[in-house]
Amino acid sequence: MAGGRQTRTTWCSRCGAYLSVQPGARSVRCALCHAVTRVEHHGGLHQAVGFIKGLFNAFGSPSQPPPSSSGSMRVGDPYRLPASYPHARGKKRALLVGISYSFTKYELKGTVNDVNCMTYLLRERFGFPTDCILVLTQEDKDPYRVPNKDNLRLAMRWLVEGCTSGDSLVFHFSGHGMQKLDSNGDEVDGYDEAICPLDFEDRGVILDDEINETIVRPLGPGVKLHAIVDTCHSGTILDLPYLCRISRTGYWQWENHNRQPDTPKGTSGGLAISFSGCGDSQTSADTTAFAGSTSTGAMTYSFIKAVESDPGTTYGRLLNAMRATIRDNGGDSGIPGPIGSFFRRVITFSCAQEPQLCASEAFDIYRKPFLL
């Protein structure tokens, strides 16, 4: 807030990205597509039109058919969410994505199992209603629930749409990730991190910049988001400003990764926290995700095991337990209780893989309790 005037929000007129507008500004440039969107100060009509136009440009015209399972077609109606998406707007909401890349050289075997296990955990342990969980998998018969690029973008908007104080949101992604050269100078290591939709070879990846704009920046006061991202190159996949460095002896500190203070990467007053499968610098060879002997799922397994083994844990203890499970190739004992019985899959662990913790704000990781 400056001079009693609040920072406003709008949507990019080209790609539909969420944008923050400084007080008094007549236009704003999108960090993703670089389009300039005009800002009206006397009403919300222009903002609504800009949002609709952005969705129209991002997802295609209403005359187009729905996407096929191959991801070659785009979402049809840009004015509303698909009717098959959950309509319930409970205080707990989750988007779970598992991409197997079937019949390609990048095929993964356990991603759908990851999503099934996360669904079970959220329902049974944390009380997430079934009708507030949206699942995207390649095997789904609903064309709007196939995890191609357009549907992923739409589903991420579904996750944060209309969120209010007290809401708890979860984003889980199990699939491939990669790095691309940073084009706007906001990355400490010079690379953007990205997730790979089903159709990434044809349509491209979704960069961390866009993920941040879509599911982090809209979070208002009292809204909490947890992301569990099981890919390679996923350390800072939400582009959050703080990365936790923690040693095996337990010493920890937050590292500020916001290189451009004028381009904030935090929320609009809420809290965003991410657990990711490995560091940004780990290549596909380290995690063997693109080499045939895939280690995908190890992070999801270690997360569920840590949560089930230590109810009421803190973020620091949870992260240490996840790393210990990875180092010990799954540990001597499996996940306890009924969730352990539910978790049925073969996992190849990679000791080079080290889960990471990022957040939109710094906090004491050994005092703050882990709560979804």
Report the catalytic residues: 176, 232
Q: How far apart are CA 289 and CA 234, in angstroms?
A: 12
Coil, helix or strand at residue 40: coil
Give, rounded to a whole angstrom, the gap between the first and last alpha carbons of the chain: 30
Contact partners, residue 103, CB within 8 Å, separation at least 6: none
**CB-side neighbour CA atoms (13 Å) of 307:** 21
What is d(CA 338, CA 320) in angstroms, rounded to the nearest whole number?
A: 23
Distance CA(211)–CA(213), nearest Å, equals 6
DSSP per-residue letters across 153-180: HHHHHHHHTT--TT-EEEEEEES-EEEE
State how far the Cα of 167 lies from the Cα of 144, in Å rounded to an integer. Answer: 25
The pairing of beta strand 92-98 with beta strand 27-29: unpaired
Residue pair 206/195 in contact (Cβ under 8 Å)? The answer is yes
